[in-house]
Chains A and B, each alone.
Chain A
């Protein structure tokens, strides 16, 4: 009986009796959330990093609180808090403004919570990268009369990219894996779907290994792209080692 459930490949079939299609659907959801959350996190991170480096004392302290809290509290707890608080606050806000409440889709909420967590991480990564840009380059840009926005766009962002990419690449991999935590709040991404499939069919090993293979494939494919991007960003740098 054990051997049966171990190698019953038909369970992974894409069509209805098999669960392959459901698994791939969950995988797609995971990737969507990871991409959305990562993008939101990057935006928050750029803003946060610049706020931390160039903002006023109050803004700096507030951002410090944000990154400290996110780095000290488990993602799982943050996700629960943000998931409930985020949807609740939005609905209360809409109610106070006189609009009717909306039912926030799990996808949006997932992107929001992953984005806020990733925002704190990328704030720290980007801050370190910006500090690695030689100060003279930014001063030179200022001396040429560039506005702060132009300095950011033309000098700081491109110049910090080589320093930031290893950290940002790691954050992308973490974002893909953090989506699994949304299983705990009941969003049907890959891990939760896998558990449902495994629970229904009792073929635990098969499904968890299949999901693991999907995650691993995502990581390995990402690593290929990361390698290409890193090489592109580091062109013109003296080769290390």
Chain B
């Protein structure tokens, strides 16, 4: 036996290019398999479904990992959103996960210890709406550095536009209300950003908070003028309907009145998930192209940015307009999803909730908003479950006597813990985990 003279070249130093088919195959599988599963496994035991899901997850992750360009990357390859094996793997898992999730959540399943399965679907849909709004908020506050508290004002604006365009004019046409809200949000957002041209930091925060109260006034006046005490109803005769060109899709049947109403968590998921994903992708794309880079430049050093030829005032207003447009859209979605909006739907507490979401999620990461809103919505569910079902915990009377206070206290405590030990939030934590998994997989070789 002689010693190995030519050790295998390092994975990264060799140039490897997958064929276009190889490059897209894992994503194609991730996109198609959930629907096949959903169509064929309706009566299959939940655990079998879970097993199949995990196996497919592993397969697409592995395929995406292996079929990644390696070696010296061209500019085009370097520009891709998912560049590294680990990025591509997680992307494939995410695509598959997002598409398979509703089928799993919709399946009849009683988890051990009465784990609150039934409420999960509603929570997931709320997370989607909040993630969209919080991501846009984070683009403005975290990424562009323009401290604003006018966030909830734009949710209210979304409800107003939803009320005018979606209810008063069209009797439940959410699809017209969404672009209208985006347009109104962009215009009003740019106006609300005007103080940013003169003010910074705490002063800007106060100015935008003033805008919040102005908008609350508009909201109340609007409600009283047209809807009265009960608020706007976005359900019933005002429910959004499925566009007629989508009626051919499987599983889309008219109800007893012959209407195609978007109702139930499953249908809502297919409305909310694509809109949220597309709007977050839009913002991520903005961040990695010219105007988004300018946002970061203005945030870090505005004098330096202006000497690079960036019109600082325009850049700030653009950030406000983009963020507000997306937040207004999420306001429309929230109105129609929740079904009614009244006088007390928007308050200062909501502003703080969104602030908690982006701080916990990760301040300068757009994706962090997703983690933040998941944290925000899942935690109370788990607390509730633990209080009622979890062994030992359920016997502590003190906890069930003061449920909301204890929830708040634990939540606040967790926020402090996260900020102390992980200032870049859950997104930072996730990055660490991803890096750790990636490294331990890479060590094991191809």
Please say whether chains A and B are actual partners in one complex. Answer: no
Chain B interface residues toward A at CB < 8 A: none
